[in-house]
Structure 1
């Protein structure tokens, strides 16, 4: 497991300040459309989980292999996502259901609850540890838990106002985003 304790919120401020100005990226431009659609879903059931999983994988360069079953307890998923459950047991279940991938699972969870879950992938890993994220490192649930809990802590810091303002000034965001998304955006775009 990687050491996330060495990071500070100042690290994220520094990364945000070093971002290039004015990105032009479809990845950024469709984020709010996808988020708005997912947030408009009224009933959480198998159909909504399958649709959200496909939306997330449409946003990724990987084909989806989901394992949501008709007999799954979707109220269980909904309750745990709503409270931001970050336990090994719950995240293992999400990983198993979505391509056996915590990367895909993190994106799914983020769109379902962007306040509590950050997106995790190989670019974020590289930004944090300055080394290529191999499958084991990026598909490791313990690494995702530490990353997500670290970002949850940082998302409550007063420096988040500065990070959000930098992202707006450099045109990485034009609408409100959660602090979790802001931190992940800084990492994702700090890698060329």
Structure 2
């Protein structure tokens, strides 16, 4: 269950997204220096491996995808032994529209959804990254860098209610008519495979990550 305190952290979420997209646009124009480097490397390779070549109904393949995701993180994967419930969850979402998938997610009992979000390494962060690469238009990546923008500290972000509030916030933004400026959307497709663009969800998540690193400093690779 989400507490009022948790919900309040996201009250200014739309403004934070707007500011982050402006910063990203200025960075893409070369007007702002950014400290982000290796965090973005390998994104398309992982997306192709997991979204396109992983059968989520095969628990062993799903486990392999989890190990691949953790190769992109500073944390070692120690626990991915029971992914069958997550497998069933993803299979039910894979062949439906994002709108319908959001409805399905909203109807999953809270306790069940909370359990699913701790499937990988007992971490909402790790699970969110695996879910993102399986369904990049539906699940955003959640980590300590982005969470810090919303006032989370010291692993307090690693909860299902925090992630679900973030999930809802980003989709609420995407429901607006001009969620991402066309110029920025086009620039962010550089490096993307032809006819397989970077999702708008990923662009927003990336903008928030950049905003956090720019605001708080530190090593951009330390993201859990």
What is the TM-score with the length of structure 2 in the denominator? Answer: 0.71
The answer on 1:57 being equivalent to 2:70 is yes
CA offsets per residue over residues 25-57 of structure 1, 9 Å max, x none?
Answer: 232131011101112225321111101111111
Equivalent in 55, 70, 89 of residue 77 of structure 1:
89
Equivalent pairs counted in the alignment come to: 185
With over 3 angstroms needed to count, the CA separation of the structure-2 counterparts of 1:174 and 1:159, relative to structure 1, is farther
- Cα deviation for residue 154 of structure 1 reads 1.1
The answer on 1:41 being equivalent to 2:72 is no
With over 3 angstroms needed to count, the CA separation of the structure-2 counterparts of 1:141 and 1:52, relative to structure 1, is same
CA offsets per residue over residues 121-153 of structure 1, 9 Å max, x none?
Answer: 1111122x2x453212x1111011011011112
- Cα deviation for residue 191 of structure 1 reads 2.1
Matches of 1:168 and 1:104, distance apart in 2:
29
- Cα deviation for residue 116 of structure 1 reads 1.0
Equivalent in 149, 154, 165 of residue 146 of structure 1:
165
* Residue in 2 that maps onto 1:135: 155
Equivalent in 183, 191, 205 of residue 165 of structure 1:
183
What is the aligned-residue RMSD (CA, Å)? 2.6
Contact 1:167/1:173, CA 8 A, preserved across alignment: no
Matches of 2:11 and 2:167, distance apart in 1:
12
With over 3 angstroms needed to count, the CA separation of the structure-2 counterparts of 1:154 and 1:172, relative to structure 1, is same
Matches of 1:191 and 1:172, distance apart in 2:
22
- Cα deviation for residue 79 of structure 1 reads 3.0
Segments of 5+ residues of structure 2 without an aligned counterpart are: 1-5, 95-100, 214-224
SS for the counterpart of 1:135 is coil
* Residue in 2 that maps onto 1:179: 200
The answer on 1:97 being equivalent to 2:102 is no
